[in-house]
Structure 1
């Protein structure tokens, strides 16, 4: 376990790395949200049916299910740095090709591949970031990655609004292709980002790990402390290790709470304009798009108090109280679907704000609860499981709105959220202030208080 990294001073290097790692979440928020706006113009131009719309909306999420599990395992095997930019190149190619699509199958395929690339970035970037961060700042900076997701969603709706207002017919093509610009920007930002010293040490490259720590953190480190705990010959690894008794409950917890959170959330964001219209908002384009953009902004704002609370209250109380409160506005919308527009907007915004707690823990928990050798695998599996709910919710939302109505649809969302509450009450652990190695290798409930910090390492002279 690395005391040096856990107790290292927080520097500009950490800030730069956090910015570089935020590219995946930001692009995810942008790519998943922009299609909801693009569908406004795409639907009449391509003659899309309700089933086509659902398929296009869910394709990226299905891709994320496949990509999360596949590339999480691969990232633990070949390293974080190797794949750190490759996934962005795939996103660029798919974004450019999306501009030219004319068939549902082609767009569905491109969205599927985009989803795989986005999901690949989560285990790559968040595990890399977690393995470089000091313990004191780990929760906040991992939690801030979700802020990038909502920033991407808000940017998508703003971009979509501008294209709808000034772009005219066919502007949906420019919307789908616009993610190319963001991909290129983060491709440049990520140049020079280092490999994880913990991963290097775990794979026998202790000397390289020591040199990276001394170069980027400015502190001396004993290579032996970077080494993970030895494992017995023939012990399970990878996905098999996730399903062993010490980690099985954690794997289920991370996947299920993530699933229960993002299932309703992604459906609302992807089809926000259609959802607001179902509640009786004025139809058309601009008002629906701006309304969904406002709700996305509230999702983002709700993350800021949650970032502070996970380091003051702790991870466990934040996730439990947040899920409990999130049920209330969804129940209101379900029981009173004909409520005035102001009530609908307030309820949706309240739900969005209260989502902040689970949001900032989406990547914090799986990165803290698993050791280096399976950390990216755990993040990938949690992402994959969550996207089952997101894909199902996104596919079913337009069908549910037209089939059983807005009230029952919102009550189903409240029920899914209640399942997230139950999972959190039963299995959420406390990792606040705990060294990364200690939190990851101690099954059961981790200590609520931080371990006594050792003196900060001295800078290299």
Structure 2
């Protein structure tokens, strides 16, 4: 039986958050699988990382389509249907007979993950009270870190003990994790606040979203999201492979090392949860951008100039960059569209912002693949650091100084 409205708010956050955890697990799983896939089919680093690009292209398409669809027909049907696509595509990837089929499977998986990231946060913003929106969504993103860590840790174990075909087990495990979540999501009901709205037509949604991009800070935040995801998804999708290259370790060791680096995001995300309503989104975002840019630029320069760095120094610089990212723009760029936007275009705004982020991820992965081929990993890390500095500049110039504007726009139709 579907749950009643009185219990919706208390259960929506963990159920929605589980989908974001699952998406984060999947993105980390494919990055941990890059090295064994490369070795099995004798691919170059640039070719194998195109799987990351295919995933991000799918996420871009899924985010754009799902945002408008969820504002037109409701959130529940969309976040239930995407899990079916996710489970099917994960199984297809696990049994892919060649690289072409695997690429198609990853494209479909990306669509499913993009749908979830576009619709989950508007769904939560609909069902929780105004003063809890920011912190509730920050808690969801806090949980996402455990998905990434689980994929890196489990990936290391599977690759170490199963052997060359362990990447298939790792990718297939995501399908099994999707099944219980599907059961719980089918019991959700539509948020009463959305049900009371008169949905706009697709044409009205496009015009209303275009207005929000020009005049309601959505455009600036979408650009900041793009610049952040250049570095976050860019480095996230290549982190195990990057560590394998820099430290000359095995694929399983690269996955374990990535988990150690990524572990810093747990306390960093708790910092974000504490500060999200105590600092302005703008200040938190700028601090995170700058704090991520500095260690990435330092590590990039050290590699460009062939300065010897110990594994500990490399790990600390990467961990520092992850800490500041997770404590700032990793949260603010995701949750702000659902707070800025009026309820009738909340999912469309989130979808546009998320699509912008996926475009940033595509730029990040592709740019890194080109730079690492031409000039080595140091140039790729400098590229990520510069993107963060640009993100800090956009945030400084274009975002509101306080959170009061966000809260008002997030509650009242404009």
Q: Is the 8 A contact 1:144 1:360 kept in 2?
A: no
Whether 1:306 and 2:272 are equivalent positions in the alignment is yes
Cα 1:164/1:236, change in 2 over 3 Å: closer
- Compare the two structures and name the one with the higher helix fraction: 2
The counterpart of 2:43, out of the listed 27, 31, 48, is: 48
Does residue 397 (structure 1) correspond to residue 364 (structure 2)? The answer is no
Residues 12-40 of structure 1: per-residue CA shift (max 9 Å, x gap): 75332101111331122111111122222
Q: 1:440: Cα distance to partner?
A: 5.9
5+ unaligned residues in a row in structure 2: which ranges?
A: 1-5
Q: Displacement, 1:385?
A: 0.7
How far 1:52 sits from its partner (Å)? 2.3
* 3-state SS of 1:254 partner: helix
After TM superposition, list the pairs within 5 Å mapping 1:14-29 onto structure 2: 14-29=9-24
Query: For the residues of structure 1 that align with 2:50 and 2:212, how far apart are their CA atoms?
Result: 37
Q: 1:257 aligns with which of 224, 230, 246?
A: 224
Confirm or deny: 8 A CA contact 2:63 2:352 kept in the other structure. yes
Partner residue, 1:379: 350
SS of the residue 1:362 aligns to: helix
Cα-Cα RMSD: 2.3
2:29 matches 1:30: no
User: Contact between 2:212 and 2:219, CA under 8 Å: does it hold in 1?
Assistant: no
In 1, the alpha carbon distance for the partners of 2:45 and 2:301 equals: 26
- Of stretches 101-110 and 429-438 in structure 1, the one that deviates more from structure 2 is 429-438
Matched with 2:73 is 78
Q: 2:97 aligns with which of 90, 93, 102?
A: 102
Corresponding residue number in structure 1 for 2:59: 64
Q: Distance in 2 between matches of 1:83 and 1:246?
A: 24
Whole-angstrom distance in 1 between the partners of 2:64 and 2:382: 31
The equivalent of 1:283 in structure 2 is 249
> Partners in 2 of 1:246 and 1:149 — Cα distance?
27
Partner in structure 2 of residue 320 of structure 1: 286
Aligned with 2:310 (options 340, 353, 357): 340
Asked whether the equivalents of residues 269 and 292 of structure 1 are also in contact (C-alpha less than 8 Å), the reply is: no
Of residues 195, 208, 231, the one that matches 1:241 is 208
Deviation string 1:387-436 (CA, Å, 9 cap, x unpaired) is 11101212332332232122222221111001110111112225646785
Give the TM-score, by structure 1 length.
0.82
Task: Identify the match of residue 134 of structure 1 among 115, 129, 141.
Answer: 129
Q: Which protein is bigger by CA-based radius of gyration?
A: 1
Question: 2-side partners of 1:198 and 1:259: how far apart?
Answer: 30
User: How far apart are the structure 2 equivalents of 1:70 and 1:113?
Assistant: 13
The count of aligned residue pairs is: 404
Cα deviation for residue 99 of structure 1 reads: 1.7
SS at match of 2:328: helix
Distance 1:246 1:29 in 2: 27
Contact 1:135 1:434 survives alignment (8 Å): no
Is the counterpart of residue 112 in structure 1 residue 107 in structure 2?
Answer: yes
- Normalised to the residue count of structure 2, the TM-score between the two structures is 0.91
Q: Which residue of 1 aligns with 2:384?
A: 413
